[in-house]
Amino acid sequence: MAELRIHQEKVTPQNAAELIKLCPFAAISYENGKLDISSACKLCRMCVRKGPAGVVELVEEKAPEGVDKSSWKGITVYADATLTPEGTVKIHPVSFELLGKAKELAKVTGHEVYALLITPKGAEACAKELLEYGADKVYAYEDPMFTFFSNTTFAKAFEDFIEKVRPSSVLVGATNIGRSLAPRVAAHFRTGLTADCTSLEMKENTDLVQIRPAFGGNIMAQIITTNTRPQFATVRYKIFQQLPKESIENLSEAQLAEKIKVMKVDPAWEDKRIHVTNIEGLPPIKDISEAERIVAVGRGLKSPDDLQMARALADKLGAHLACSRALVETGWLDASHQIGLSGKTVKPKLIITLGISGAVQFAAGMKTSDCIIAVNTDPNAPIFDIAHYCLVGDLYEVADELMHLLDSLEEA
Ligand SMILES: Cc1cc2nc3c(=O)[nH]c(=O)nc-3n(C[C@H](O)[C@H](O)[C@H](O)COP(=O)(O)OP(=O)(O)OC[C@H]3O[C@@H](n4cnc5c(N)ncnc54)[C@H](O)[C@@H]3O)c2cc1C
């Protein structure tokens, strides 16, 4: 890490004008005798190398010395618990999927798998559920201050947990809450976070290999946090498999007490600057990540009116309608319908793609679907490389045939 330091005492109107002219990103300004560098700066260092001597200095931050990895143990999964409108606490299923993956990773290091639970109520029931899905221990923070999600309040509990338990790795579901909380906590500990990992591996030295697409999905980057702990990764829903639920009925009270650690909550953690005055539920939206059947449309569709045909086919199949980014960009469907790297990951039992080429960024979000039927006029379309059934043909003809077939099945 490096930053630019301005030596204001050396700034004159003349050298300020020189620096402003030099900066290719228009990041330098001069006002009221003060030189400023904005966030447009790309640290190209032109002002340091070519600018007036000594006015702008590049200060390199010393790399961390390294960390005693043996003093950080365990893989933690953040249990994404929220209060439902019915007043019960629900854990997002991505947390169970991450527990399944953590179990697999823990085999390499022999570490335990922990779940971190921050909840307004119902900690015991939630903790038991987390044990059933593979946690070895649950650390539970329960207090009404966690009724509504507040990044600052939740982060305090999260930080307390990390200071006390010192886990080596922390896995967080890439939900709205997870995406907000994980970077804040990672920044607090000045450690690394890799967002939206699509695969995770563990090294024997406890380095977590965080794998995710980079450069627009054209390469898979392997990212390692070598000098700091803990190492944070966020993972989207439906990337990993949850383990089957295991009964914990045979655990004695004493064993349960050993496994469920009730953590002390400090009243000072509550961020009193935020007052929630009213909560209004959004109308329920169909989440394509949850869908068992999907009809997905792409740029092969000729007009927005033709969405009606795709929607009718989806309805007939009891499927969700989804799309490639191309149709979101045209404004024909909103972003909640988009499958892919910058959309949602889906893993339905059946997906029919109509007029979608199968670019890597689209495929990244659906290639683990159980059955993929692709329709495309181009026999060389990349979608056919991952489809189980490949139909080379016009999507309108195929959709029409399919509708007739489904109608005749209904009549029979
Ligand atoms: C950083 C980044 C992130 C991205 N994220 C995503 C993402 O999350 N999701 C996503 O989808 N894309 C994403 N993209 C865009 C992606 O690269 C593709 O541009 C996009 O997926 C193309 O959509 P498409 O397949 O609908 O369109 P096209 O690639 O234009 O394909 C249309 C297909 O329809 C076929 N066709 C045409 N007419 C017919 C017909 N009558 N019947 C049958 N087939 C027909 C054509 O042969 C063609 O294969 C991303 C790109 C970048 C750079």
Taking residues 163-189, report their average pLDDT. Answer: 97
Is there an atom of ligand 1 within 6 Å of 353 CB? Answer: no
Is there an atom of ligand 1 within 6 Å of 82 CB? Answer: no
pLDDT computed for residue 258 by the predictor = 97
Is there an atom of ligand 1 within 6 Å of 192 CB? Answer: no
Q: Which residue has the tokens 């620096």?
A: 19
353 CA → ligand 1 middle, Å: 11
Per residue in 200-250, pLDDT (tens digit) is: 999 999 999 999 988 877 788 999 999 999 999 999 998 999 999 999 999
Taking residues 151-167, report their average pLDDT. Answer: 98
- Between 63 and 240, name the one with better pLDDT: 240
Is there an atom of ligand 1 within 6 Å of 111 CB? Answer: no
pLDDT band of residue 388 (cuts 50, 70, 90) is very high
Pocket test for ligand 1, best of 321, 328, 341, 400 (most atoms within 8 A of CB): 341
Q: Which atom of ligand 1 is the closest one to the Cα of 383?
A: 49
Taking residues 180-192, report their average pLDDT. Answer: 96
pLDDT computed for residue 382 by the predictor = 97
300 CA → ligand 1 middle, Å: 8
243 CA → ligand 1 middle, Å: 34
pLDDT computed for residue 270 by the predictor = 97
Asked whether residue 327 carries a pLDDT value surpassing 90, the answer given is: yes
Asked whether residue 277 carries a pLDDT value surpassing 90, the answer given is: no
Asked whether residue 335 carries a pLDDT value surpassing 70, the answer given is: yes
- Between 213 and 116, name the one with better pLDDT: 116
Provide the sign of the torsion angle of the four alpha carbons 338, 342, 347, 350, taken in this order: positive
- Between 218 and 357, name the one with better pLDDT: 357
**Distance in angstroms (rounded) separating the CA atoms of residues 60 and 44:** 14
Asked whether residue 399 carries a pLDDT value surpassing 80, the answer given is: yes
Structural domains of the chain, ranges and CATH numbers in brackets: 2-60 (3.30.70.20), 69-269 (3.40.50.620), 288-411 (3.40.50.1220)
Are 75 and 113 a contacting pair, CB within 8 Å? Answer: yes
pLDDT computed for residue 217 by the predictor = 73
φ, ψ (nearest 5 deg) of residue 183: -65, -35
Is there an atom of ligand 1 within 6 Å of 340 CB? Answer: yes
346 CA → ligand 1 middle, Å: 16
Asked whether residue 347 carries a pLDDT value surpassing 90, the answer given is: yes
pLDDT band of residue 97 (cuts 50, 70, 90) is very high
Lowest mean pLDDT among 28-42, 61-75, 196-210: 61-75
Asked whether residue 99 carries a pLDDT value surpassing 90, the answer given is: yes
355 CA → ligand 1 middle, Å: 8
Is there an atom of ligand 1 within 6 Å of 324 CB? Answer: yes
**Amino acid identity of 16?**
A
Q: Which residue has the tokens 């204001």?
A: 8
Per residue in 280-321, pLDDT (tens digit) is: 877 777 889 999 999 999 999 999 999 999 999 999 999 999
pLDDT band of residue 61 (cuts 50, 70, 90) is confident
pLDDT computed for residue 214 by the predictor = 86
Q: Whose CA is nearest to atom 31 of ligand 1?
A: 357
- Average pLDDT, rounded, for the chain: 94
Q: Which residue has the tokens 């939900």?
A: 175
Asked whether residue 153 carries a pLDDT value surpassing 70, the answer given is: yes
pLDDT computed for residue 1 by the predictor = 66
- Between 170 and 412, name the one with better pLDDT: 170
pLDDT band of residue 279 (cuts 50, 70, 90) is confident
Asked whether residue 63 carries a pLDDT value surpassing 70, the answer given is: no
Q: Sort residue 357 into left (φ over 0), alpha (ψ -120 to 50) or beta.
A: alpha
State the DSSP code for 364: T
State the DSSP code for 166: -
Contacts for 298 with CB less than 8 Å, ≥ 6 apart: 323, 324, 326, 327, 353, 354, 355, 356, 357, 362
pLDDT computed for residue 278 by the predictor = 82
pLDDT computed for residue 64 by the predictor = 65
Asked whether residue 50 carries a pLDDT value surpassing 90, the answer given is: yes
Taking residues 407-412, report their average pLDDT. Answer: 84
